[in-house]
Each structure stands twice: as C-alpha cells, then as structure tokens.
Amino acid sequence: MVDFTMRVIAKPRDDSVKVVSRLLKGGGYDNLHCGACGRVIGAGVDSNRLKDFVFKCPYCGLYVVMPT
Ligand SMILES: [Zn+2]
C-alpha cells in the first residue's frame, strides 16, 4: 500500500485528455490524495494504470495528475 499525493496542474485545454471526475475505488493497493485539498480521491487503486489520466478532484474541483 502506497500513498500518493497528486500534483496539481492547470485545467487541460486538450479535449483528448482523459479526465476522471469521480472517486476511484478498488483494483489495487494505492491511495491517491488530492494535492490541493488532501482528500482521498482514489482508494485501493492500481496507480500504474492511472498515469495517463487527469483527475478532477470532486471535493475542490482542481485538476491533478500522478506525481512523477
Ligand atoms: Zn481536492
């Protein structure tokens, strides 16, 4: 189990970017925390499968990505 703090980015302008705006749960062993508000936006997920996605935090509305 690894806890990741997501990196806050600007709102993506590219329509081809895959934006996830719901809470994720299951599939792995990692927890994702919003880099702005600190809330958990992914619980027990497989972070390796989420590197290509942009997340819109359901709590604070900011855009975050996996840290690199
Ligand atoms: Zn947030």
Does the model's pTM come out above 0.85? Answer: yes
pLDDT in tens, 6-45: 999 999 998 889 999 999 999 999 999 999 999 999 999 9
- pLDDT score recorded for residue 14: 87
Distance 6 CA to ligand 1 centre (A): 9
Average of pLDDT values for 47-57? Answer: 94
- pLDDT score recorded for residue 22: 95
- pLDDT score recorded for residue 1: 85
Distance 47 CA to ligand 1 centre (A): 17
Distance 35 CA to ligand 1 centre (A): 7
Cβ neighbours for 57, distance < 8 A, ≥ 6 positions apart: 34, 36, 37, 39, 41, 63, 64
